[in-house]
Amino acid sequence: MTPELSARAAYSTGPGTQVGNLYGALHARGVAEGLREAGRDRPLSLVRSAWAGSQRHGAALWSGDIPTTFESLAQQVRAGLNVAMSGIPWWNTDIGGFQGGDPSDPAYQELLVRWFQYGTFSPIMRLHGDRKPNYPTFSTDMTGGPNEVWSYGQEAYPILAGHLRLRERLRPYLLELSEAAHRTGAPVMRPLFFGFPGDDHAWSVDDQFLLGPDILVAPVTEAGARSRSVYLPSAARWTDAVTGTVHQGGTTFDASAPLEHLPVFGREGAAVAAAFPE
């Protein structure tokens, strides 16, 4: 809502300038209270609007009907980090974007792969979108095109399937992070400075993230890119999840990023490193 509309809006709870953004949090609370009254003591809602405090009510926030572009993918990385630092740990996006995307188009297949790789290391992993050819007429027949992992061609399928298996191997680690988020509020997906507040450079990196304390992920958000610059925080050594090469923290270098995988690094000595080899 624009500032002009907020100034004119009036809700039952007060002026729009004071309570307009509370809608998401109050909606989540209402759903959670209803579920608890129905006997479900651990409510969970997939929502597209939230506000500070929504996490108290089992809100799993996604970013809405976003474009199917690399620019949009890059925005999701930054948005997820902002959500994490706003106190909401359960973040996810429509993998591949929502509005369109042709599964037979090689350019879109590349975007889908890169987004799927990002989704593998997101707090919630969810493939969704209105793919072409779609049927825009609003009716009971309204549907989108194929959107299963096998819908994106012979090159993409083994990459996507491999990342599904990786996600499953990460399940114990993700469960630990989820429990920590529940108990302490520590987000599952974290900006680098969350884990390394004493590293000045970590505060300026907004296109990488930590998955918990032990995994660093550098998403690829440019079409055709097969490498990208990566910064590894100081006060730790980092092991390349694919090659096993150990890198000293506090360094920036050009990391290999073939279509098969993102640059991902495990904190040296972390038990989660065992999840990466096939």
The pLDDT tens digits for 18-37 are: 888 888 899 899 999 999 99
The pLDDT tens digits for 171-185 are: 999 999 999 999 999
Residue 6 has pLDDT above 80, yes or no: no
Residue 13 has pLDDT above 90, yes or no: no
Residue 1: which pLDDT band, with cuts at 50, 70 and 90? low
- Rounded to whole angstroms, how far apart are CA atoms 153 and 108? 11
Q: What is the reported pLDDT for 218? A: 98
- Rounded to whole angstroms, how far apart are CA atoms 104 and 62? 26
- What DSSP string runs through the chain? --HHHHHH-EETTEEHHHHGGGHHHHHHHHHHHHHHHTT-SS--EEES---TTGGGGTEEEE--S-BSSHHHHHHHHHHHHHHHTTT---EE--BT-SB---TT-HHHHHHHHHHHHHHHTSSS--B--BPSS---S-STT------SGGGS-TTHHHHHHHHHHHHHHTHHHHHHHHHHHHHH---SEE-HHHH-TT-GGGGG--S-EEETTTEEE----STT--EEEEEE-SSSEEEETTT--EEESSEEEEEE--TT---EEEETT-GGGGGS--
Of the chain, the percentage scoring pLDDT greater than 70 comes to 98
- Whole-model pTM: value is 0.93
Residue 137 has pLDDT above 90, yes or no: no
Ranking 10-19, 46-55, 117-126, 155-164 by mean pLDDT, the lowest is 10-19
The pLDDT tens digits for 81-116 are: 999 999 999 999 999 999 899 999 999 999 999 999
Residue 141 has pLDDT above 80, yes or no: no
Residue 136: which pLDDT band, with cuts at 50, 70 and 90? low
* Architecture (CATH level 2) of domain 179-275: Sandwich (2.60)
Q: What is the reported pLDDT for 278? A: 66
- Rounded to whole angstroms, how far apart are CA atoms 118 and 76? 10
Question: Domain boundaries in the chain?
Answer: 179-275
